[in-house]
Amino acid sequence: MNTTLKTEFEKELKNVLSFWSTKAIDQKTGQFYGEIDHYGTPEPEAHKGIIMYSRILWTFAAACRFYKTNDYKPFADKARSFIENHFLDKKNGGVYWETDCDGAVVVNKKQVYAEAFTIYAYAEYFLAFGDQSALDFAMELFNKLETICLDKKNGGYFEAFSETWDKLDDVRLSDKDLNEPKGMNTNLHVLEAYTTLYEATKDARVGKALKDEILLYLNTIVDKNNHVTIFFSEDWQPKTTEISYGHDIESTWLIWEAAEQLDDKALLDEIRPKILAMVDTFIAEGFDTETNSTWYEYFPKTGKRDSDRHWWVQIEAVEGLANAYDMTGDKKYRDLALKQWDYIRKNVIDRVHGEWFWRIDDDGFPVDSEPKMGMWKCPYHNGRGLMHMIREMEKWN
């Protein structure tokens, strides 16, 4: 076991959890802010998103399970109460997308990505605390996804629905996304949510849905060049060509973890070559060996690359490379994982204001226009990654 690295990961995990349990909370309202800027200044009037709240809930519940303590439970409960009082649609089921700073719903659509993260958070809460009501809610959402959101004809899950679970004209997760009926990101995080839900329930229906999603993802969403396609038509015709290196490497370890949770040796044997091919392609195309960091995206049609180093991409690279080392015992993966971590340690962690910078530009400077906390900036990627790597250090020589 590498005790020095383990101590380093543990210290940083405590730093992340400390930021979100102190600086991220508005002392006037007792709730989490909607946004904190790059320099640590809160924006009390900022809107709040279910993605941020479900990820905060997951992180603090996961930390309690990880450390076998209830020390972080009050913060998990804080997030849970806001979800149930403001995001939960008590009439139609499911969770809304966005509220104002006071919790009034301002975007009432049902984004399947968000429903999945809520399943993920509530299943983790059950595993941490044994609260049956949390698991019941996670299963209620699972049943919604399986009866309404699953494409029974072509497989996979649609992007979004209206408040009353009807079809929508605009199904985008964000303004940056294409308005297409199916996407990689939603299906990846349904898979992630079902992995934890299956761990919590061992329910055969969840297991079947999870296996179906693993196979669809690898056979349809991952292309012949070992990259994920980001958006699709209803019948899975690709609608984009850009390459997302972060999603490529994140997919590898999430899929492997899902198959391990199913404890299906035949499935693991089937997917192993594809997973490792994806990792090797990522190293060859997405990993910058000069800085030991990971680029953001590549656009084949123009030959241009987005070279910014986003916080979540960097930590997903650590996890994906570490997982490949676990799968193979090949030290090249371990060495690259640790080099990528060294880049994070030196460049991405904000030693002054806390938490991690959103992204580092190609010249090596943090981009100060991006928030530390917001709709998409949460403790989930780095919290999850640090817990993952502490466990890894306990296995590595």
Percent above pLDDT 90 for the chain? 97
Asked if 110 and 94 count as a contact pair (C-beta separation under 8 A), the reply is: yes
Residue 72 and residue 381: Cα distance in Å, rounded? Answer: 18
The reply to whether CATH 1.50.10.10 applies to domain 3-395 is yes
Tell me the H-state helices in 263-345.
265-286, 311-328, 331-343
Q: Which residue has the tokens 């400390």?
A: 18
Q: pTM of the predicted model, to two decimals?
A: 0.97
Around Cβ 218, how many Cβ atoms within 10 Å? 18
CB of 213 within 8 A of CB of 184? no
**pLDDT lower than 70: segments of the chain:** 1
Domain ranges of the chain: 3-395
Structure tokens at 397: 């020589």
Question: What is the dihedral angle through the alpha carbons of 196, 197, 203, 204, rounded to the nearest 10 degrees?
Answer: -70
- Locate tokens 């640590």: which residue? 40
Residue 177: what pLDDT?
86
Residues 120, 54: contact at Cβ < 8 Å? yes
Q: Rg for the chain (alpha carbons), in Å?
A: 20
**How many other C-beta atoms are found inside a 10 Å radius of the C-beta of residue 68?**
7
| CA pair distance 340, 351, nearest whole angstrom | 18
pLDDT in tens, 26-42: 999 999 999 999 999 99
- The rounded distance, in Å, linking the Cα atoms of 243 and 384 is 24
Give pLDDT, residue 1: 64
Element (H, E) at 120: helix 112-129
What phi, psi does 94 have (nearest 5°)?
Answer: 85, -175
Q: How many CB atoms are closer than 10 A to CB 155? A: 18
> Can you tell me the distance from the alpha carbon of 196 to that of 204, in angstroms, rounded to the nearest whole number?
14
Amino acid at 275: I
For residues 2 and 396, is the Cβ–Cβ distance under 8 A?
Answer: yes
